[in-house]
Amino acid sequence: MSYVEVPGAKVPIRMWTDPASVEGVALQQLQNVATLPWIKGLAVMPDVHYGKGATVGSVIAMRDAVCPAAVGVDIGCGMSAVRTSLTANDLPGDLSRLRSKIEQAIPVGRGMHDDPVDPGRLHGFATAGWDDFWERFGGVAEAVRFRRERAAKQMGSLGSGNHFVEVCTDTDGAVWLMLHSGSRNIGKELAEHHIGVAQKLPHNQGLVDRDLAVFVADTPQMAAYRNDLFWAQEYAKYNRTIMMALLKDVVRKEFKKAKATFEPEISCHHNYVAEERYDGMDLLVTRKGAIRAGSGEYGIIPGSMGTGSYIVKGLGNEKAFNSASHGAGRRMSRNAAKRRFSTKDLEEQTRGVECRKDSGVVDEIPGAYKPIEQVIDQQRDLVHVVAKLKQVVCVKG
């Protein structure tokens, strides 16, 4: 489908989904965003749903301003995927050992490494800039500087919620490695700190929603936020790169005879800010639950833990600010999913996938998400599908 345009106070709201299918509270959030004085455009992805301040699945372009809540609290959250030389025929019938080895190598949930991972010991990891990255931590918000030791030990760990590590096969039988994670707790703490700062600024006192507080250009508060934001985005990218290196090491050891090799990584943020130019204006574009999909750029759009995922190439649609959805998107809250589904439902909906099937992950059941095929179909003018993946192993946080 192409987009549907809904009137907004300052800008039209371009929606790559049927507005009637969007929950009322999310529609109200979109209307609230469209009232912001600094806004220059708003694009809504087919996986849109309610979030804090701004919806998940929205792309917001502003001039000389940025809204921290429009980035999301897990700054830099995103995906990485790698096609391997392995095929489905190389995989054993029982994948429980492989899942166990992945869980041993990559801490999940609130877990962290006993000692910080030494990237110099990781096969193929580019260590250039690593020391400089950590030195810049001394310049982030004072409120979180004491978290450095924990942040170092969490680097290379998965986290919880909808984060995952997967082994997948595509329709040609090739094996892929894929993972989803962000800036762990340090990014969340930085985001919440700056949202609190923004809410107290005078220019934000008349907003329809205090969670939409913004920083404006040429102020010390904006400079401090941008510094911390870009550091956290880099943390998230390093985090995924280290996890992927750890995951590759597991695969190398478990498939020694096959001598697995790996193609270049595909990596994309879906909670971040970018400086981009549209209609002759330099804008700050926030993608919250959305990926960049510039012409020819690779992206990753995952489904849920029992469905498929897609590797895509962007079509460079400027009406959507060169963006696409970040996944299937939830169609019900976590609490609603826990009320509606049982562990038996989870077992049925994840049949054929080596994964957790206990009450702790019922809120991540496929039935709690929108159908990924429908979400992909709604953005045919945003991306071209390169590969369709189906997970055989899924490690959840």
CATH code (residue 261) = 3.90.1860.10
Please tell me the distance from the alpha carbon of residue 305 to that of residue 355, in angstroms, as a whole number. Answer: 8
Do the annotations mark residue 327 as ligand-binding?
Answer: yes
The average pLDDT across 84-92 equals 97
Q: How confident is the model at residue 125 (pLDDT cuts 50, 70, 90)?
A: confident
Q: Is the pLDDT of residue 366 over 80?
A: yes
Do the annotations mark residue 88 as ligand-binding?
Answer: no
Please tell me the distance from the alpha carbon of residue 350 to that of residue 345, in angstroms, as a whole number. Answer: 9
The DSSP secondary structure of 342-386, one letter per residue, reads -HHHHHHHTTT-EE--SGGGGGG-GGGB--HHHHHHTTTTTEEEE
φ and ψ at residue 345, rounded to 5 degrees: -60, -40
Q: Which domain holds residue 163?
A: 72-268+295-321+369-396
- Look at the chain and report how many structural domains it folds into: 1
Q: What is the pLDDT of residue 1?
A: 58
Give pLDDT tens digits for 44-83: 999 999 999 999 999 999 999 999 999 999 999 999 999 9
> Dihedral (C-alpha) 25, 26, 27, 30: value to the nearest 10 degrees?
120
Q: Look at residue 331 and tell me if it is in a domain.
A: no
Q: Look at residue 17 and tell me if it is in a domain.
A: no
Q: Look at residue 187 and tell me if it is in a domain.
A: yes
Do the annotations mark residue 74 as ligand-binding?
Answer: yes
Q: Look at residue 332 and tell me if it is in a domain.
A: no
Do the annotations mark residue 302 as ligand-binding?
Answer: yes
Q: Is the pLDDT of residue 2 over 90?
A: no
State the maximum Cα–Cα separation within the chain, in Å, rounded to a whole number. Answer: 65
The three-state secondary structure class of 78 is strand
Catalytic annotation, residues: 326
Q: Is the pLDDT of residue 197 over 90?
A: yes
Whether 34 contacts 9, CB under 8 Å: yes
Q: Look at residue 274 and tell me if it is in a domain.
A: no
Do the annotations mark residue 326 as ligand-binding?
Answer: yes
Do the annotations mark residue 49 as ligand-binding?
Answer: no
User: Which of 103, 110, 9, 3 has the alpha carbon at shortest distance from 58?
Assistant: 3
Do the annotations mark residue 224 as ligand-binding?
Answer: no
Do the annotations mark residue 396 as ligand-binding?
Answer: yes
Q: Look at residue 5 and tell me if it is in a domain.
A: no
Q: Look at residue 348 and tell me if it is in a domain.
A: no
Do the annotations mark residue 304 as ligand-binding?
Answer: yes
Q: What is the pLDDT of residue 126?
A: 85
Do the annotations mark residue 123 as ligand-binding?
Answer: no
Give pLDDT tens digits for 216-266: 999 999 999 999 999 999 999 999 999 999 999 999 999 999 999 999 999
Q: Look at residue 286 and tell me if it is in a domain.
A: no
The average pLDDT across 152-163 equals 95
